[in-house]
Amino acid sequence: MKAPASPGDVNGATNAVISSTRPSSYPGAGSYSLVVPIGINGATSYVGGVGVLICPSSPISLGGFTIAGYVYFDGPAFPEYAVFQAYTWTGTDTSTAVQNIIKSNAGSNTIPTKTWLPFTRGFELGYAADRFTLEVAPNGPWSGTMYLDDITITGL
């Protein structure tokens, strides 16, 4: 469940910018990245990310669609448990779906920071959605910057 951001948190689309300043060694094409400041305190905020309205006229099922792109986290190491995920929902009901894209568990390496990570993930759940978010959810406080680039959602 998403907790509302408390005043002073930097999470959210209102703080995201398009920038030509991005970490070096980007493996993709183009000159710009979406830059998302993240501030998770672990007490009143638990996730940080950026989202878009994907289908303003009516919700659609993303089951069978695939998301791909690159993500880069600039900040300290993540706590032992952390997940980078796609979160879909509608503005009119409580139908939500979370698809883990990159997940770390106890005893394994956590999500790497300071390196571009390519990702591809199919949406397995077919809930109708009209909103979509890419977000990071560590198990504890984390502050840094998430860079997103070359994000695509392809259908069947």
Structural domains of the chain ordered from first start: 13-154 (2.60.120.260)
Instruction: Determine whether 142 is exposed, middle or buried from the number of CB atoms within 10 Å of its CB (0-12, 13-18, 19+).
Output: buried
As a whole number, mean pLDDT of residues 45-71 equals 85
Q: Which residue has the tokens 């860079």?
A: 147
- pTM reported for the whole predicted model: 0.82
> Is pLDDT at 38 greater than 50 in this prediction?
yes
**Most distant pair of Cα atoms in the chain: their distance:** 45
Q: What is the C-alpha R_g of the chain?
A: 15
Residue 24 φ/ψ, nearest 5 degrees: -70, 170
The model's pLDDT over 7-36, given as tens digits with 9 standing for 90+, comes to 344 454 455 777 777 787 888 777 888 889
